[in-house]
Homo-oligomer: A and B are copies of this chain.
């Protein structure tokens, strides 16, 4: 039954091998969207275009993402669809695909439409939008997470197999944690920023939401490619997803700096995740997170907010009424910062980088809870800034420190809320972060009842809490 088909890469490929046509899968995607009945997920639905594209695919042609339904955060250009960045007055017709979208299109993927976001990708909550706020796919009392809210929710409901987000402060990871997904945040410069509305140009990256680590990594590999026209692109080789080497050392927050703002379930769940890793032979080192948190605070309290001010531009002073009030308040802050502030911030960051490098000495990866705790829509209504800032505890420092990371579901907490860990690595070691994530991902897929497939790695064995399924294609 198509309605029961998990939208993972292996399951879709199997279905297509069994004779299902992508047009039917795309139709099913929109049936699911209609069933969820959440007008906040998409800003632009490309129903007819997607069906037509799928129809035009013809017979399987071997392309890696042939017929795979996906969606794109609405700050990334897709030819034929407006780009709004969740600011209707900003809307433009991009004319052509963003570099990464062009690569996915060339790989055969079918775009379902453009998803909602915190306006100009400024926020971690998903409620800073003039469009309807998407519901969290797991629990509508919780914020959907942002800024890539619609992209996360679309995957969590099984509407899309994967989605593109962006990540500057954690927008590709926090919504993954809140919707029980994988959120892959590449090293800066591996996915071209051409055709992406900037937030902080020195810190932005496109990101990927998917149900599983291997799906996310496969999409990442398809979208990656050096783009000489993107000044921030980096020509780094992306390693294949492989098993973790035997002798891995991870750092974790020590007891004094495992910040969960009083959410003991979150701390307990994280401890259990780390215990699992330790039993699997990983060496664990507790570190003081203070310098990382000091870096995290610089993103909004320091001069980097002026990057957002630069990105939004004259609209702040000339048409402030076209901005979401919270967004306006935040990006206006950047107008007050001087170039001296900016350089002093850069110096401070450089000094903190050294302290963080010191903390990471002898360590391969850093594992943290993706979010410290959960934020309700009521809380963010009462205080639009504070709870948002708390959500960035374990994400805000990552891009400033030029690290890569992957948020990965680690099963339900004792209270049923989704557990999620982020594995962080140094720039260029995306494969290493994903390899560890692969060993910890567990639980049902997103908000669905679908079982997690075993990753199809060479000689990988299913773990005792996984179900082995055959994967072809």
Q: A residues engaging B (CB < 8 A)?
A: 201-202, 228, 231-232, 303, 306-307, 309-310, 334-335, 337-344, 346-347, 350-351, 353-354
Contact = CB atoms under 8 A, between A and B. Distances in A.
A338 B310 CA distance: 10
Nearest to A355: B231
Contact of A338 (B337, B346, B350, B354): B337
Contacts of A347: 201-202, 231, 310
B353 A231 contact: yes
A334 B344 CA distance: 13
A303 B339 contact: yes
B231 A343 contact: no
Given A306-B342, A342-B342, 20 more contacts: A201-B343, A201-B347, A202-B347, A228-B354, A231-B347, A231-B353, A231-B354, A303-B339, A306-B340, A306-B343, A309-B340, A310-B344, A334-B339, A334-B340, A335-B340, A337-B338, A337-B339, A337-B340, A338-B339, A339-B342
5 contacts: A231-B350, A231-B351, A310-B347, A337-B338, A339-B339
Interface pairs A-B: 10 shortest CB-CB? A306-B339, A337-B339, A342-B342, A339-B342, A231-B350, A231-B351, A303-B339, A310-B340, A307-B343, A306-B340
B310 A202 contact: no
Which among A201, A228, A342 has the highest number of chain B CB atoms within 10 Å? A342
B340 A343 contact: no
Main SS at interface, chain A: helix
A346 B202 contact: yes
A227 to B, nearest CB: 11
Contacts of A201: 343, 347
B343 A343 contact: no
A299 to B, nearest CB: 13
A310 B231 contact: no
Contacts of A339: 303, 306, 309, 334, 337-339, 341-342
Contacts of A340: 306, 309-310, 334-335, 337
A300 to B, nearest CB: 13
B343 A310 contact: yes
A45 B310 CA distance: 50
A342 B343 CA distance: 8
A350 B306 contact: no
A231 B231 CA distance: 25
Among A228, A337, A338, A346, the one with the most B-chain Cβ atoms within 10 Å of its Cβ is: A338
Contacts of A342: 303, 306, 339, 342-343
A347 B310 CA distance: 11
Contacts of A306: 338-340, 342-343
Contacts of A343: 201-202, 303, 306-307, 310, 342
